[in-house]
């Protein structure tokens, strides 16, 4: 488990009674580790880990596991998206759950979950503002609302002559987690609806970053019809768990990496949770994702649901989709 998450869970009974740390612009938000800082700070534990009893912040980098030297790997997720690909059983859910677990414990962020199977992200349901199950119409309706919200936030930023939201803005970042993109974009419903899903998702990934919409999307079908290059290249972070061939690995990481020796096809099938992580303009790097088993996810989810229930009545949370 992430040191940060561990601290948050362990600190359940020791929360800041003033509640100051839970507001969108409270002291919970650390001064360092923001966008513009290093893309990956892998060698030193982030200060979040040293703040027992406080909730996390989505503006803090997310602990995802260790690299091949045993060093912790943190991903700054704010203003970024992550694509997670790999064959069934590669360990994609581990990374998805790790990011979602950080998000649910961050009172300065809201959560929208898409899960056609319902059980992959189902444990976080009580923490989510919206949970989309197997219905494509619901998925489309939620994506359309997110798109409207995104447009309004841009209108607001334009009026303020700014390019990005900050922790001080009244509206909160959203983490939009999708387990199995292909289910919505290539499997169920009518072709026109699936195409609309793909196009709305692309727009969200392309434009959502600056207004605090973070897309975390996973697929066990890394093929060019599900992840066209134009979509893949919009993800600042890409993680390839074991893939069945070099071409699938390249579809996640970027064209040509397999030829340079970086292929997720070389990962042993007996090593789930190991994968290649790449940042935009960077090189791949082997990471072993920290695995949260079902019981741990359930404990974190209960803790976070309590925190969020306490927090729900604060005015800022009512800005949800109305924003
Ligand atoms: N980081 C990890 N460390 C150790 N074991 C892991 C790790 N990640 C996954 N596993 C093991 O591998 C199994 C499959 O992992 P997981 O369900 O995350 O794969 P997946 O890629 O999401 O599969 P699917 O595409 O079928 O949903 C887990 O039940 C767990 O036993």
Distance CA 198, CA 135 (A): 15
* Tokens (6 digits) for 176: 């939009």
Distance CA 245, CA 249 (A): 7
Distance 206 CA to ligand 1 centre (A): 29
Helices vs strands, H then E, count in the chain:
8, 10
Ligand 1 atom with least separation from CA of 289: 1
Helix (H) or strand (E) holding 217, with range, is strand 213-219
Distance CA 150, CA 21 (A): 26
Share of the chain above pLDDT 70, in %: 80
249 is in an annotated binding site: no
**What is the structure's pLDDT at 312?**
64
Distance CA 264, CA 242 (A): 5
**What is the structure's pLDDT at 19?**
33
Distance 283 CA to ligand 1 centre (A): 24
Distance CA 155, CA 43 (A): 39
Ligand 1 atom with least separation from CA of 220: 25
CATH class of 3-319: alpha beta
Ligand 1 neighbour 316 (Cβ under 6 A): no
280 is in an annotated binding site: no
This complex has an ipTM of 0.96
**Cβ-Cβ contacts under 8 Å for 120 (sequence gap 6 or more):** 93, 96, 179, 180
Distance 289 CA to ligand 1 centre (A): 10
Distance CA 310, CA 147 (A): 28
91 is in an annotated binding site: yes
Sheet containing strand 110-115, edge to edge, reads 72-75, 62-67, 285-289, 274-279, 237-241, 82-85, 213-219, 174-179, 110-115, 130-132
**Cβ-Cβ contacts under 8 Å for 146 (sequence gap 6 or more):** 112, 174, 176, 200, 204, 208, 213, 321
**What pTM, to 2 d.p., does this model score?**
0.82
Substitution candidate for ligand 1 out of 291, 292, 293, 295 with most atoms within 8 A of CB: 291
Instruction: At 151, give phi and psi (nearest 5°).
Output: -60, -40
Ligand 1 atom with least separation from CA of 94: 18
Task: Determine the distance from the C-alpha atom of residue 277 to the mean position of all C-alpha atoms in its chain, rounded to a whole number.
Answer: 14
Which residues partner with 252 through β-bridges? none
Distance 90 CA to ligand 1 centre (A): 6
Q: Mean pLDDT score of the chain, rounded to an integer?
A: 83
- pLDDT one digit per residue (tens) for the chain, 323 residues: 444 444 443 333 233 333 333 332 222 222 333 322 233 333 334 444 444 456 799 999 999 999 999 999 999 999 999 999 999 999 999 999 999 999 999 999 999 999 999 999 999 999 999 999 999 999 999 999 999 999 999 999 999 999 999 998 888 999 999 999 999 999 999 999 999 999 999 999 999 999 999 999 999 999 988 998 889 999 999 999 999 999 999 999 999 999 999 999 999 999 999 999 999 778 999 999 999 999 999 999 999 998 888 776 554 444 444 43
Ligand 1 neighbour 116 (Cβ under 6 A): no
* Tokens (6 digits) for 213: 């919409």
Ligand 1 neighbour 91 (Cβ under 6 A): yes
Closest CA to 123 of 290, 305, 291, 1: 305
Ligand 1 neighbour 176 (Cβ under 6 A): no
Ligand 1 neighbour 240 (Cβ under 6 A): no
47 is in an annotated binding site: no
Q: How many CA atoms lie within 13 A of 137 on its CB side?
A: 0
Substitution candidate for ligand 1 out of 65, 86, 89, 96 with most atoms within 8 A of CB: 89
> What is the DSSP pairing of strand 285-289 with strand 174-179?
unpaired
Distance CA 202, CA 289 (A): 26
């Amino acid at each position: 488990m992430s040191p940060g998450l561990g601290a948050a869970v362990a600190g359940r009974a020791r929360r800041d009674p003033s509640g100051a740390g839970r507001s969108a612009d409270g002291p919970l938000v650390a001064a360092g580790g923001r966008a513009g800082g290093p893309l990956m700070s892998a060698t030193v534990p982030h200060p979040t880990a040293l703040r027992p009893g406080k909730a996390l912040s989505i503006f803090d980098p997310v602990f995802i596991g260790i690299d091949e030297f045993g060093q912790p790997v943190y991903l700054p997720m704010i203003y970024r998206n992550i694509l997670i690909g790999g064959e069934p059983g590669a360990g994609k859910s581990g990374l998805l759950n790790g990011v979602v677990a950080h998000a649910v414990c961050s009172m300065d962020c809201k959560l929208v979950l898409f899960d056609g199977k319902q059980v992959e992200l189902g444990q976080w349901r009580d923490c989510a503002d919206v949970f989309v199950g197997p219905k494509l119409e619901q998925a489309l309706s939620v994506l359309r609302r997110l798109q409207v919200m995104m447009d309004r936030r841009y209108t607001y930023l334009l009026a303020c002559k700014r390019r990005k939201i900050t922790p001080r803005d009244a509206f909160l970042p959203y983490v939009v987690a999708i387990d199995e993109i292909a289910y919505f974009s290539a499997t169920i419903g009518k072709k026109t609806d699936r195409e609309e899903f793909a196009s709305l998702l692309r727009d969200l990934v392309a434009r959502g970053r600056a207004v605090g919409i973070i897309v975390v999307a996973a697929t066990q079908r890394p093929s060019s019809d599900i992840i066209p290059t134009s979509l893949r290249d919009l993800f600042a972070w890409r993680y390839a768990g074991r893939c069945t061939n070099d071409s699938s690995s390249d579809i996640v990481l970027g064209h040509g990496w397999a030829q340079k020796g970086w292929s997720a096809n070389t990962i042993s099938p007996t090593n789930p949770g190991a994968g290649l992580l790449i940042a935009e303009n960077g090189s791949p790097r082997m990471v072993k994702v920290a695995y949260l088993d079902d019981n741990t996810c359930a404990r974190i989810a209960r803790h976070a649901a309590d925190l969020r229930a306490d927090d729900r009545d604060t005015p800022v949370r009512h800005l949800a989709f109305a924003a």
